Amino acid sequence: MKLHRFVFVYMLALYPIFASAQQCGTYTGPMLIDGFGPPDKSFVQEPEPILPADATALSLTITAPANKAIVGTRTVQVYGTYAGPPATGVAVNKSAAMQTANAFVGLVTLEPGANTITIKATTLTGEVITQTRTVTYDAAQLPDVYLETRIQGEHAPIKTSYTLKVKAGLTVTRLQMDYDGDSSFELDTTNGATALSYEYKLPGFLSASATVTLDDGDPNTPPVVRVTTRRMAIVPLPLTRKTLCYVFYRMKDRLIANDIPDALMSINAEIRAKAQARFSGFSNLSTVAPRFGVVVDGNLGIRLAELTVLQDTNRGQRGKSLTFERASDGVWRITSL
């Protein structure tokens, strides 16, 4: 897992600590190149994301696999679309899926026979909707060719590799790769052993496909062409940045409103009791909570992250580190205060 560290200059004269309740970086241009701060030359430009409204209805659509599908590979990608309030997470069989703004993909390892796959969408406040798929793994149905990859997604930019699996007795005579789903081939070769790798510079929910011509060695049978695809979730860094800021500021706003139970929804269940005791210890919580600060820095990973908030204390301003994790339900939550 790669982490992206972004530091920017905090200009107190221009950005008073409470001038904006939702400060999540000081750069105000139309494009963000990375998760925090002014553009540099390290990353491809990405637009500033717009989070959904808090009242967005929770929904979940499974595109693949089809219910009661029979597959010949030991693993199967599960993917589809979702909608919900900010920080909504999607999990496949209790493992966080890779998510873009409205699409997800997860990988499931199957056992021989029928398998039940459970897909859940969960909001930060705990609302859940669930769908299931029954998929049967039958090794006798092994396809002539299929793609594998070690990851289902990452932050852009990311260079990843693919592996082409070919059934015994077949030879690749032509391989054409469309890595980003734009219907053009980035690779066209007669060498079936060519290493397959691609750098995704722009975010998106993409479909990599291999068009493969196969020969079984029998001169009396013509070559066959097979197409195999793989979904890849390339996640925008600014989306992760803004989602993490939302989780923090939602907690802060609910504490200002003296609503501790709702504020605790932003916090990982393992430290929720400790946080509740801490918050309950303030006799003037609505006065103290505004001093919890504003976000000024961050380390962003696809599953783990850290934000630095600048707080106004009785001894002056100080930086405070908050850690976050995408839990097994796919929701980002605070894991340390």
Topology of domain 4-49+237-336 in CATH is Nuclear Transport Factor 2; Chain: A, (3.10.450)
Tokens of 206: 């993409």
Q: Residue ranges per domain, the chain?
A: 4-49+237-336, 51-142, 143-233
**Among 270, 274, 267, which residue's Cα sits nearest to residue 252?**
267
Same fold, 4-49+237-336 and 51-142: no
User: What letter represents residue 299's amino acid?
Assistant: N
**Among 191, 206, 336, 185, which residue's Cα sits nearest to residue 275?**
336
Tokens of 102: 């409205």
137 in Cβ contact with 109 (< 8 Å): no
Q: What SS3 state is found at 84?
A: coil
The span from the CA of 172 to the CA of 214, in Å, is 5
Neighbouring C-beta atoms of residue 86, cutoff 10 Å? 18
H/E element holding 229? strand 224-235
Neighbouring C-beta atoms of residue 53, cutoff 10 Å? 9
Q: Mind listing the pLDDT tens digit of every residue in the chain (337 residues)?
A: 555 544 333 323 223 333 334 667 555 555 444 455 544 444 445 677 899 999 999 999 999 999 999 999 999 999 999 999 999 999 999 999 999 999 999 999 999 999 999 999 999 999 999 999 999 999 999 999 999 998 999 998 899 999 999 999 999 999 999 999 999 999 999 999 999 999 998 899 999 999 999 999 999 999 999 999 999 999 988 899 899 999 999 999 999 999 999 999 999 999 999 999 999 999 999 999 998 988 887 888 899 999 989 887 778 788 889 999 999 999 999 999 8
Q: Whole-prediction pTM value?
A: 0.88
The span from the CA of 23 to the CA of 250, in Å, is 13
Topology of domain 143-233 in CATH is Immunoglobulin-like (2.60.40)
Entry field: residues in the chain: 337
Collect all residues with Cβ–Cβ distance below 8 Å to 72 and sequence separation of at least 6: 137, 138, 139, 140, 141, 142, 143
Q: What SS3 state is found at 145?
A: strand
Superfamily of 51-142 according to CATH: Immunoglobulins (2.60.40.10)
